[in-house]
Structures are given as structure tokens and as C-alpha cells.
Amino acid sequence: MKKILLILFLSFVFKLFGQEVKPNFILADNNTYAKLVQRYNSKEVAPFWINNGEMFIYCIKNEKNIELFQVDIHKKQKKKLDIKINKIDDSNYDFLFESKQYSYDSRFNQIKLKEAESYKPNSERISPDNKYSVFEKNHNLFINRKGNISQITYDGEVFHDYKENDYYFTNELNREDTSIHTSNISWSPNSDFFIAFRTDARMLKDNWVINSITEPRTSLTTYKQRNPGDPKSKDEIWVYNIVNNEFFQADLKRWEGENYWFLGWNNNGNNCFIQRINKHQTECDIIAINKQGESTIIIEERPNANIFPKEFRELDEDEYLWFSRRDGWGHLYIYDNGIGEINQITKGEFSVEQVVSVKDDIIYFLAKGKEEGINPYYSLFYSVNIKTKEIKLLSPENAGHKILISPDNKYFIDIYSRIDQPHKSELRDTNGNLILSLEEANISELEQNKWISPEVFTVKAADSITNLWGVMWKPFDFDPNKTYPIISFVYPGPQHNFVPTGFHQQLNNMHLAQYGFIVVMCGTRGSSYQRTVEFSEYFRMGLRDYPLVDNKYMIEQLAKKHSFININ
């Protein structure tokens, strides 16, 4: 009955718009998300480095089996290993290689050395020295000291506890509060204290969702959600000192309604680093906290604060690498607190995305928008010399790149693809020289089912100045002589660019197109921190409506260019 009503509704919609096309339910049913996924194997190489990084092994999952390969970097040789791969379940396997037992998880494409694995219950946070573990039960924290369990807190209650991701797990279905939960804590490397994150979400009001397709009746789900104007949940940071068994809240408050992000530990393990962000997400501090709960401000970001925990690491005592947008673009800086000096390492009209590794005076990083004529949302791999500030491109292909670097920073696996180009995996040295082509995805099964790759397009924003990049999906039975209704997938963010850049992404859009639609996504102003500060800050004070003006203008431009789009 539901399918009949859907057909009648869509038929009415198409007739209303005067389209020549009719909904193609057969084509859509043959190209569901699940079926499209099954037809593509990206063959991404995820290396397990051995022999001090001079060799690695990796697995490729095919339709019927797992294949294991070994790569000798010096010989520039890849060979398939004739080793028995034992299937444990649908996603887990194990095998013996060079007298060592390995496991392989096909869900995450990850090889692990079994001998190095130790049992760590998901519900407990175990100290680095394996002497203690912490867990949460009935909203309170407990510590296990070699079998001697004692309670740390007594004031926990629902929506004011130490659960991991508690701020998001406000759905009543996730509140089995009599069972043990993973605690949202981080141990110091020395195992002498830990930091606990606590969120008070008790003031958030209830919202509801009706699930109309549950059997045998519809069901109601209750969850907490903050609406504009409502009070904000409160972040808290607590410190537990192992030696004197003290647990206390760190006094970090600087702004009303501030949030905290954990950034890691310093090299000697005496301090943990926290990013403190104001309510309006326009200012932030990097602070260090010791086991006495004493805090020290290391970096103050004003203005154009980076509100996401991006890149921060201790290079040496009182010397820190940090990502900042203070000059209008996202760049890397070194802060020397000992002499009070700030040294900008990267500079120009592009944005650093991620630091991959630091070795001696070389920083290896991913960046976007640096190369002329390349989509500014493609991640490319670079190195920069801290002393000379010379930047070198290490991944020249016009595509989005994923980088897996060797432990000694001499080599890296480069996995790259585009919307219209399947994945390739290559081995290069960190001078950018190609050593060996490893794997390449095969799209023959997609093509057998009439696959048409989506297309990248560029348009202007509603200011008629700013360049925008988008993606268009067409039906596999596309006829340029017909006209199609258009659907724009709008997700404003603002966090990252949600418009896909790699092959085989956003398959739900591909599936939707098969009914007889042109489906588009476009990175509007305000949608991403990966371009200029001016671009990203467009969302301020207009979070609901800001992407709509650019989407409207984008559709109007596409309709003028393509007669197959029905502007109505």
C-alpha cells in the first residue's frame, strides 16, 4: 500500500512539473545504496609496516576471499603471499606470517599483530601501566586497583555523568544506566593521574521523534535537544590524583557557556592540553593542566579562532606547533613560549588541513587550495622545511589524497581518487618519487549496470564573485533531450565541506537520481573552514537561511547552462 501511494505521489509530482520523464522504480531498485557498495572495491592499501619500515604487508578483500601481499621497498617488489587466511566471522580473519600471528579486520581494513594485542574491555579505561582501570556505573566513576574496586564519585545522575560522548547520547534508548559504561577520561602517560570530562545536560528540554514504520505500531523516541535561545549544556573537567586519591574539578572558567576539547599530553606526561572555546566560537585558548588541577595558558587565539581541535603538538619544551587562522587562512605556526616568539611556517592563499608527521625540521601535511586549477577541496600532500619554509608538493595527481606514512617518515602510501576517477594506491618516498604502483580499483561491475559517474561543476555564489564547487548526479538512463526535476541536497554545517570529492561517495544521492531526478550538492559560502576565514564566517547570525541564497542562485545558473534541468 505504501509503495502504491508513493508511486501515485511521485506521478502527481512529475505531472505537476510537466516533465517528460516518469519515475523509474526498476532502475532505482537495481541501484540501491547497498547494491552500489557491493559493486565497488576501492582496494585501498592499508600497510602494516615491518622491518623498521623497509617492508610492509597489506590485505585486499575480494568477493570470495582475502589476499595477502608483501612489499619490499628496496627491491621495488610486490608479491602475493601463498598463506592461509582463516575466517573467524564475516569481518575478522587471522593468519601466520614469519612465525607471528596476525589478525585482519575487513571493516576497517586493518592488520594487527596478535601478540601485541591485550584484552581491554570496552567499558573500562585502563592505565598505561595496566595497574588501574576506571569505569562508570549508575552515573558514577569507579576505580579498579588490581581487583580492589572503590567508588570515586557519588553525585552522578542522569544527564550529568562521565559517559563517553554523553552530550550526544541523550536518547532514552542509550541510557541503560545500570550497566557499566565507558568513561570519558584520559590517563596521563605516567599513570599517576587522569582527566575526566563531564557534561551537565540536565537543563536541556525534551524533543520527540515518531517512528512511523516500526512494527506492529508506531513508536515514540524521546531525546534532549537544545533549541536556539535555550540554556546550553555545561562542560566540566575533573582531575583524579592516584597517589592521594583526590578527585576535584579544575577551575578553568573564562567565558560563560564555554566548551573544552582534549588535545593530548605533553612529552613528559606531567600536563594535559585542553582547548577552551567560547560560546560564540570566536575565541579559544590552549591550556595545560597538571595533576594538581593548576592550569596555564599556552596560546590565546584572537581573532578568527580555530574552533575545532585541529593541529596542536609539543615539539620541544616550551615549543608548540599549532594551526591558526589569524591571517585569514588556515596555517601552521610554531609558538616558542620560552622566548615569547611566534613563527609562521606556512603562508599563502591556501589552508592546511592536517599534519601527518613531523621529523627533525620537516613537517609533512595535507593542504587544500594551493595548486592553481585544482578543486580547492582536494587534499594534497606537502612537506615544509621549518627553517627555510620551503614547501614541496609530494602528491602531484589532480585528485583528493589520503596519506599513510611509514614510521621512519621515509615512505608513504598515497591513496587518491576523484568523483570520476576510481581509487589508486601508490608507494612513494617522502621526496615525492614514485616507487611502486600497488592497487587500482575496478569499476567493470558498475559499468555493467549502466554506471555514470557524477560530475563536478563550478558556479558563482549569490554575490556573483565567490567561486563555488559542486557535484551533479544523473540517472543512468539519462536523456539530454528530456527535462528533469532538480533536487539540491543542502547540509549547511558549518563544519567541513560535505560535498563529496572522492569516488563512490554520497551513494544515497546516486540512488535518488535513478528515480528520474538531477541531484546536486554545492559547497556554499559559510559551509567550510577549509577556505578563507571570510568564506567560512558567512554563516554568522544566519545559521538557518545562509545556504539557501547560494543554492537558489546555483540552481538558476545550472538551469541556464543545461536545458535538461527544469527550473520550475
What CA–CA distance (Å, rounded) separates 405 from 427?
10
What CA–CA distance (Å, rounded) separates 293 from 237?
9
Contact 36, 506 (CB under 8 A): no
What CA–CA distance (Å, rounded) separates 320 from 285?
13
Closest residue by Cα to residue 511 from 25, 33, 40: 33
Contact 485, 518 (CB under 8 A): yes
According to the model, what pLDDT value does residue 194 have? 95
Distance of CA 250 to CAs 24, 140, 232, 274, Å? 60, 18, 20, 11
Task: Please state the length of the chain.
Answer: 568
Phi and psi at residue 66, in whole multiples of 5°?
-110, 130
Q: Which residues pair with 518 in a beta bridge?
A: 486
- Residue 62 burial (CB count, 10 A): 9
According to the model, what pLDDT value does residue 15 have? 47
What CA–CA distance (Å, rounded) separates 45 from 58?
6
Type and span of the H or E element at 3: helix 2-16
According to the model, what pLDDT value does residue 446 have? 95
According to the model, what pLDDT value does residue 309 have? 60
**Which residue has 595533576 as its cell numbers?**
291
Type and span of the H or E element at 192: none
Grid cell listed for 194: 587522569
Sheet order of strands, 467-473 included: 455-460, 467-473, 518-522, 486-488
According to the model, what pLDDT value does residue 22 have? 86
Q: Is 148 exposed, middle or buried (0-12, 13-18, 19+ CB in 10 A)?
A: exposed
What 65-68 contacts at long range (C-beta under 8 Å, 24+ apart), as own/partner pairs, is 66/93, 66/104, 66/106, 68/95, 68/97
Q: Which residues pair with 240 in a beta bridge?
A: 194, 247
What CA–CA distance (Å, rounded) separates 499 from 367?
17
Pairing mode of beta strands 518-522, 486-488: parallel
Q: Which residues pair with 149 in a beta bridge?
A: 144
Please name the residues in contact with 107: beta carbons below 8 A apart, sequence gap of 6 or more. 91
Contact 426, 411 (CB under 8 A): no
According to the model, what pLDDT value does residue 16 have? 43
pTM above 0.75, yes or no: yes
Q: Which residues of the chain have pLDDT under 50?
A: 1-9, 11-12, 14-18, 119, 166-169, 172-174, 177-178
Rg (CA), the chain: 26
- Residue 240 exposure: Cα atoms within 13 Å on the Cβ side: 24
Contact 354, 367 (CB under 8 A): no
